[in-house]
Amino acid sequence: MPSLIAVAFILYRESPRRLFAPPRGGIVRSLGCVGVALLSFFVLSSGLRVLWVRLHGAAGRPLPIVPEGLWWPDVALLAALGHYLIVAVVEEAVHRGVLQETIRHYLPSWMAVLSVSLLFGVIHVRPLGATLPLVAFGAVAGVLVLRFRSLLPAVVLHWAVNFLAHLLRVSQ
């Protein structure tokens, strides 16, 4: 609820059409970049290690990658999809939409991306091993927003990363 109030305030002050404009350079190209970023993030973060543990099993017991007994449309899974979409919109609007764009008016773009991604990593208050991938994610999302002049690719990437992490967590 607090997040929704914050995003409502942002949308009241700013133009949603500008923030969520179609990506400059085309939807296909932006989705391609999101796909590459998602794959790289999954490979570079602990995702690959988690997958390895799942396939070989912890203490000799392999675990499913997709939750057992999953069926579509699974209500809990659909609820998670919706929840992560809202989270992605709110976090991207606050961090990349308002903070990064404001800082860019006074400081170089790289500095805006770096400081906002550091903030994004730290405010999740996780152990350092989890904070570094979050900072990296923030930087990639920041670059996507700079390149395509729209929050949409960053929202899609954010939503996909969160949902994949949720799937892996649920299947534990």
Partner 1 sequence: MERLDTPWRRFASGRVIALVAWALLLSTASAAGAGELEEAHRLVSNGDCEGAPQRIEALLAGHPDPSQAADAELLRGFCWRVRGDEDAYLESLRRIPDRYPGTEGSARALVSLGLHYARNKERDEARRCFERALTEVDPNSKWAQVARSELEHLDWYLFSPLYDRLMNRIDRWVLAPYFPDSLSWVRTALDLALTRLVVKLVALAFCLAPLWISQRSVPPRPRESMLRGPWSAGLLTGVLVALWSLDAAREVVWAALSYKGDVIFFE
Select the residue interacting with partner 1 from 33, 98, 144, 154 (CB under 8 A): 98
Tell me the CA distances in angstroms from 102 to 60, 94, 118, one per residue in order.
52, 11, 16
Tell me the window of 27-35, 74-82, 100-108, 155-163 that interacts with partner 1 (CB under 8 A).
100-108
With respect to partner 1, which residue has the nearer C-beta, 24 or 35? 24
Helix locations, the chain, DSSP H: 2-13, 16-19, 27-44, 47-56, 75-92, 101-104, 109-122, 128-148, 152-170
With respect to partner 1, which residue has the nearer C-beta, 34 or 93? 93
Shortest distance in whole angstroms from residue 34 CB to partner 1: 18
Exposure of 140 by Cβ count < 10 A (0-12 exposed, 13-18 middle, 19+ buried)? Answer: buried
- What's the residue count for the chain? 172
- Does position 75 interact with partner 1 (CB under 8 A)? The reply is no
- Does position 122 interact with partner 1 (CB under 8 A)? The reply is yes
Select the residue interacting with partner 1 from 37, 89, 113, 116 (CB under 8 A): 116
Residues 6+ apart with CB under 8 A from 15: none
Place of tokens 């995702």: 47
Q: Are 96 and 141 in contact (CB under 8 A)?
A: yes
Residues touching partner 1, count (CB under 8 A): 51
Strand partners, 134: none
Near partner 1 in 39-68, by CB under 8 A: 46, 49-50, 53, 58-61, 63
- Does position 155 interact with partner 1 (CB under 8 A)? The reply is no
Q: Which stretches of the chain bind partner 1, using CB under 8 A?
A: 1-3, 5-6, 9-10, 13-15, 18-19, 21, 46, 49-50, 53, 58-61, 63, 94, 97-99, 101-107, 111, 115-116, 118-119, 122-123, 125-130, 145, 149-151, 172
